[in-house]
Amino acid sequence: MIGDPLQNINKRDVIIYNNQKGFKRISEAHPAYMPLQYPLLFPYGEDGWHIYLNKNISNNNAKYKKITMKDFYAFRLQQRHEEGTTLLRSGRLFQQFCVDAFASVE
């Protein structure tokens, strides 16, 4: 797809194809952005961060009920014994993922 090169100078150009709607540009806030960008790290295509991701809180007194992009990636980058370590053991691909996550948060 050809477009105006000066129009989106600071945005990434990620385009997906939908059978019903055709080609569509997605932003870094789209849930499929990271799984599509890194299929080796997310082989099952699980969703990444999205705007409607809520915290699992037991009381209604919490000030913030949504999970921020920064909190989501901070959670993903921590090592846990219960989960697989594919992300943390992927070497330079992990480094690129960290840079991408940081750029998305900014």
pLDDT at 6: 60
pLDDT at 98: 92
pLDDT at 37: 87
Q: How far apart are CA 99 and CA 36, in angstroms?
A: 16
pLDDT at 18: 85
Backbone angles phi, psi at 12, to 5 degrees: -80, 150
- Going residue by residue through the chain (106 aa), what tens digit of pLDDT does each one get? 555 556 655 567 788 888 998 998 888 888 888 888 888 988 888 888 877 777 776 666 666 678 888 988 888 888 877 777 788 888 999 999 999 889 888 8
Centroid of chain to Cα 42: 11
